[in-house]
Chains A and B, each alone.
Chain A
Amino acid sequence: MPFAGHPDYGHIGALVEDLLSSQNKSEKQQVVVIGQGNVALDCARIMAKGISHLVDTDITSSALEVLKNGVQSTVVLGRRGHVQGAFTIKEIRELTKLRKEGVNVSFLVRSDELDLGMTHASEEELEGPGGRPKSRIDKLLRQAAESFYDESTLDEKEISLRFLLNPIEFLPLDDDPSTLGKVVCERTKLEGEPGNQSAVGTGEFETFPAQMALVSIGYKGVALDGMQNEGLFDPQRGVVKHVGGKVAEAAGSKGGLYTAGWLKRGPSGIIGTNIMDAKDTVITILKDLAKQPIYKKGGDIDKFLKKRGVSVVTWSDYENIDAAETRIDRKRTEVQPREKFTTVNELLVAAGV
């Protein structure tokens, strides 16, 4: 994300600034976020907060300038219901607490949409394995749907979490076809077995005016060159084929190739899940080494990289970057953890490489 200062996305700030100022005066400023994982919720929260609640964070100053007022209205929408949402409770809770923390952003959830998503299969999903986190989310969202705030001031902002809406069309502004004007969604209903419900269109539509749409619908693994041909990759699931983390051996291969993380299991799970997954792979590696200790020692990696003209940043070079980013004269406030460098050149200069 640009507010994290990723060097590949330095150009996004100007684009976002442009879009956010493009609405007609009579309309409210609205951003649509498509997807219901933690990233989608995080985006909505950061975009809405406004400068006073972001200034002490490590958001880059250039991004802060673009988001200084906070987006007036953000709609986070997903095709299926809240029980199927990929978010975890912590991120939902952060949204429910915004007002309490003095941020003038309301978090809006509709109880009718929570009810719509409670098919018999969804109820079974709440009781099945993985039901506890989902039940707690259901309870928290119902509480959020029931609470409302009396104060409505002019600088009121909102984040709406909407369910059972499938985006089907982006339409431009009537008087400016070069820019986004609306996102058209079809109301869906859930059909199918617990754990496998899909969203089916109902023929009813809802249109959201929007100056900007963000798509946050997850990842899919891609095969490295040559992996597709060797039958080592499952393109449908986007994962490498493996046994206990050892990549399934192609004919004539010497083995010695392993996998861990999302490429192994699919794009789900957090640090804790990946730690256990990595441990499983390491156990397999250790077992293999015990059986076949004869792998030729690899070459000198530093010489190899130098030969290829690859510049390397070592840990102590990173410590130079860290010291430079945290220098007091670089920071907006004393509390801001760091002011990040946002281009590779600045990073390399700071590293002293």
Chain B
Amino acid sequence: MLRSILQIGYKRGLSALPNSFDLMGRNPAKVMSAVRWHGGPSISKDASTVNVVFIQPDGTEKKIHARVGENLLQTAHRHDLDLEGACEGVCACSTCHLILTPELYDDLPEPSEDEEDMLDMAFGLCDTSRLGCQINVTEEMEGAVFEMPKATRNFYVDGHVPKPH
């Protein structure tokens, strides 16, 4: 049910208005793009998994099971890894920045323009940097290694790891 715009305070009328909003307000360019805008659906625990390794900022490795279909930010959060996702996975920040091996980076489809724009602002950007929220786990990632950038020099001085919320 669409509320007529001629109600609620518009006494002078608005002739420039289109008659329908069947795009539901969504920007057509964004609907078409390859960027994930909504943080990703939650993947069932029955999904198949692959073994991957996350190298944490202090250098220690954590071997975990990633679910095929989830994005790497979701993987990290499920395992309490300290990968910040300030924008909650909608490609609007650079805090889920991960460094991939050259082989995996080349195998994946190229990042979208929007992802590249956000990567511009990532701390410690490398040639094989990607945003975790934009990469879906696939079967081919069996054995993949993902490096979490060392964010600041003070970062893990006392070992404290804030929980993702």
Contacts and interface: CB of A to CB of B under 8 A. Distances in A.
Are both chains from one complex? yes
B157 interface: yes
A335 B3 contact: no
Given A93-B117, A279-B151, A335-B24, A101 B95 contact: no
Which of A50, A52, A283, A328 lies at the interface centre, i.e. has the most chain B CB atoms within 10 A of its CB?
A: A283
Nearest to B93: A272
Contacts of B120: 88-89, 132-133, 136
A294 B18 CA distance: 65
Nearest to A92: B117
Contacts of A65: 10
Interface residues of A, number: 43
Given A272-B86, A331-B3, A332-B8, A51 B121 contact: no
Which of B21, B87, B95, B117 lies at the interface centre, i.e. has the most chain A CB atoms within 10 A of its CB?
A: B117
Interface in B68-121: 84, 86-87, 93-95, 113-114, 116-118, 120-121
B117 A275 contact: no
A153 B67 CA distance: 53
Interface in A113-147: 132-133, 136
A132 B16 CA distance: 42
B16 A52 contact: yes
Interface in A286-325: 286-287, 290
B113 A93 contact: yes
A11 interface: no
Interface stretch (B25-33, B37-45, B47-55, B134-142): B25-33
Contacts of A68: 14, 16
Nearest to B116: A136
Contacts of A331: 3, 8
A244 B158 CA distance: 15
A271 B93 contact: yes
A270 B121 contact: yes
B84 A101 contact: no
B160 A330 contact: no
B8 A287 contact: no
A179 interface: no
Contacts of A286: 158, 160
Contacts of B118: 90
A283 B158 contact: yes
A97 B154 CA distance: 41
A271 B152 contact: no
A52 B15 CA distance: 10
Interface in A126-185: 132-133, 136
Interface of A: 50-52, 55-56, 61, 65, 68-69, 88-90, 93, 97, 100-101, 132-133, 136, 244, 270-273, 275-276, 279-280, 283-284, 286-287, 290, 328-336, 339
15 contacts: A51-B14, A56-B25, A88-B121, A97-B29, A133-B121, A272-B86, A272-B94, A272-B123, A276-B123, A276-B152, A279-B154, A279-B155, A283-B160, A328-B3, A334-B1
Report the 5 A-B pairs with minimum CB-CB distance, sorted nearest first: A335-B25, A133-B120, A56-B25, A90-B117, A283-B154
Given A88-B117, A283-B155, 19 more contacts: A52-B17, A55-B17, A65-B10, A68-B14, A101-B28, A132-B125, A270-B93, A270-B121, A271-B93, A272-B86, A272-B95, A273-B121, A275-B95, A283-B157, A283-B160, A287-B157, A328-B3, A329-B3, A332-B5
